[in-house]
């Protein structure tokens, strides 16, 4: 009998080893991992440079509280900010990063209403769960945090009716990941950003799933020609070591003075060593050229599949959704893929989600495509 809460619907096998995109279960069966641990292990399992950085840091110092300076935190925040004038706050998960964003927005603006969107996913803590625009995720946990308002994604009327001079902030994903790989229209995001600016509402982009290279650039917002006031990260930032980050424009810093917000483990030395190594790998010349080539190969291969089970293929970079005709078809397809050795994910009700590591090889793309074609054309 299990000693765990049954809050996860677990598959009846355990992955015990992994290198790159190849993982092995307890019986020795190998799989090609097109999940990256739900968009976490973006450089693949066992990535040597991250492992090396962790080993070196582990031999030196694991943890000191945020009562002292941290050059590692400074380096990672500077690396994430790049050319832009952002400052960072480190935490341990995506939900915590969004929690920090919501708190900062309310404190900085002195206003309360926060606008988010239907089908969004922002995490499971009270603020992040309330921000999440899905009734099924709220069910049983009421009362929720007050003053959250849900717009319709990609809908211009929602921008007009929900955002005004009283709004503290808007929190949005540029591709709704858990919601079904639904991509925001660029013109709609531009209109959203303009409305926020006009109303003095902060534009907060949840890059927890889209960030750290997933969409073919370090952050998805770089492809949408916007500069969010705040963006949040987690998942791929530590390549499997738990770490989250909230990046905000320097002008917001005054609202998060000493004692305003914090977390014991935030910016832990091991997490920062991993994040620094991840950033170094992703900033290497040509890294994203390869990612985008693999993305093109995957999209080309998928669109060449002729199957009446496919309703739509969409996404950006290596965040790809194949919308199938029903939840039942999806369950059957993913089970057969798994049996044949390809691990995939679900998004929304009927979307087969592919999140291979960004280091996926051309051969692995071909291998996955052959399996997907075989199963979908059957």
Ligand X SMILES: Cc1ncc(COP(=O)(O)O)c(C=O)c1O
Does residue 173 interact with ligand X by CB under 6 A? yes
Window contacting ligand X (CB under 6 A); options: 12-20, 22-30, 91-99, 310-318? 91-99
Query: In the set 109, 183, 192, 206, which binds ligand X (CB under 6 A)?
Result: 206
Query: In the set 35, 130, 209, 217, which binds ligand X (CB under 6 A)?
Result: 209
Q: Which two tokens stand for residue 252?
A: 């917001």
Q: Closest residue to ligand X, Cβ-based?
A: 94
Does residue 93 interact with ligand X by CB under 6 A? yes
Site map 94..113 versus ligand X, x via CB under 6 A: xx--x---------------
Question: Hey, which residues between 327 and 356 contact ligand X (CB under 6 A)?
Answer: none
Distance CA 109, CA 57 (A): 39
Query: In the set 33, 153, 168, 178, which binds ligand X (CB under 6 A)?
Result: 178
Question: 249: which strand partners?
Answer: 86
Beta pairing, strands 342-343 & 114-117:
unpaired
Least gap, CB of 125 to ligand X (angstroms): 7
Window contacting ligand X (CB under 6 A); options: 57-65, 90-98, 268-276, 297-305? 90-98
Q: Cis before residue 143, ω within 30 degrees of 0?
A: yes
Q: Are the CB atoms for 192 and 159 separated by under 8 Å?
A: yes
Specify the residue, 114 or 310, whose C-beta has the smaller distance to ligand X: 114
Question: Hey, which residues between 261 and 290 contact ligand X (CB under 6 A)?
Answer: none
Window contacting ligand X (CB under 6 A); options: 60-68, 194-202, 205-213, 370-378? 205-213
Window contacting ligand X (CB under 6 A); options: 171-179, 260-268, 296-304, 360-368? 171-179
Q: How many residues bind ligand X (CB under 6 A)?
A: 14
Least gap, CB of 239 to ligand X (angstroms): 14
Specify the residue, 128 or 313, whose C-beta has the smaller distance to ligand X: 128
Least gap, CB of 40 to ligand X (angstroms): 9
Does residue 179 interact with ligand X by CB under 6 A? no
Query: In the set 88, 177, 213, 321, which binds ligand X (CB under 6 A)?
Result: 177
Least gap, CB of 362 to ligand X (angstroms): 28
Does residue 36 interact with ligand X by CB under 6 A? no
Query: In the set 105, 174, 208, 310, which binds ligand X (CB under 6 A)?
Result: 208
Query: In the set 47, 121, 150, 219, which binds ligand X (CB under 6 A)?
Result: 121
Does residue 215 interact with ligand X by CB under 6 A? no
Closest residue by Cα to residue 246 from 374, 160, 122, 136: 122
Q: CA-based Rg of the chain, rounded to a whole angstrom?
A: 20
Interface ranges with ligand X (CB under 6 A): 93-95, 98, 121-123, 173, 177-178, 206, 208-209, 234
């Amino acid at each position: 009998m299990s000693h765990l809460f049954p809050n996860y619907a677990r598959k009846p096998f355990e992955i015990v080893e992994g290198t790159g995109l190849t993982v092995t279960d307890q019986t020795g069966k190998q799989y090609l991992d097109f999940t990256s641990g739900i968009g976490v292990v973006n450089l693949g399992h066992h990535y040597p440079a991250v492992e090396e950085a962790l080993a070196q840091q582990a031999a030196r110092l694991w943890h000191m509280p945020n009562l002292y300076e941290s050059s590692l935190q400074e380096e990672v925040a500077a690396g994430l900010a790049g050319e832009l004038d952002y400052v960072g706050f480190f935490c341990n998960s995506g939900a915590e990063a969004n929690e920090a964003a919501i708190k900062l927005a309310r404190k900085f603006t002195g206003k309360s209403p926060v606008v988010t969107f239907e089908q969004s996913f922002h995490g499971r803590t009270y603020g992040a769960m309330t921000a999440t625009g899905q009734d099924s995720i709220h069910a049983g946990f009421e009362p929720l945090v007050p003053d959250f308002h849900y717009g319709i994604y990609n809908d211009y009327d929602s921008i007009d009716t929900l955002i005004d001079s009283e709004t503290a902030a808007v929190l949005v994903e540029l591709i709704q990941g858990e919601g079904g790989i639904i991509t925001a229209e660029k013109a709609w995001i531009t209109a959203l950003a303009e409305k926020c600016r006009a109303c003095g509402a902060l534009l907060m982009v949840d890059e927890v799933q889209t960030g750290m290279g997933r969409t073919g650039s370090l952050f998805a917002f770089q492809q949408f020609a916007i500069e969010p006031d705040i963006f949040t990260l987690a998942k791929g930032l530590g390549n499997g070591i738990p770490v989250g980050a909230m990046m905000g424009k320097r002008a917001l810093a005054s609202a998060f003075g000493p004692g305003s917000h914090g977390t014991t483990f935030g910016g832990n030395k091991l997490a920062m060593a991993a994040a620094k190594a991840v950033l170094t790998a992703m900033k290497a010349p040509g890294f994203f050229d390869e990612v985008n080539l693999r993305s093109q190969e995957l999209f080309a291969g998928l669109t060449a599949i002729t199957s009446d089970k496919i309703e739509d293929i969409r996404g950006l970079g290596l965040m790809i959704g194949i919308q199938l005709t029903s939840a039942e078809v999806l369950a059957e397809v993913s089970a057969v893929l798994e049996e044949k050795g390809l691990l995939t994910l679900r998004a929304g009700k009927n979307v087969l989600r592919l999140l291979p590591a960004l280091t996926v090889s051309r051969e692995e793309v071909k291998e996955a495509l052959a399996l997907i074609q075989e199963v979908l054309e059957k």
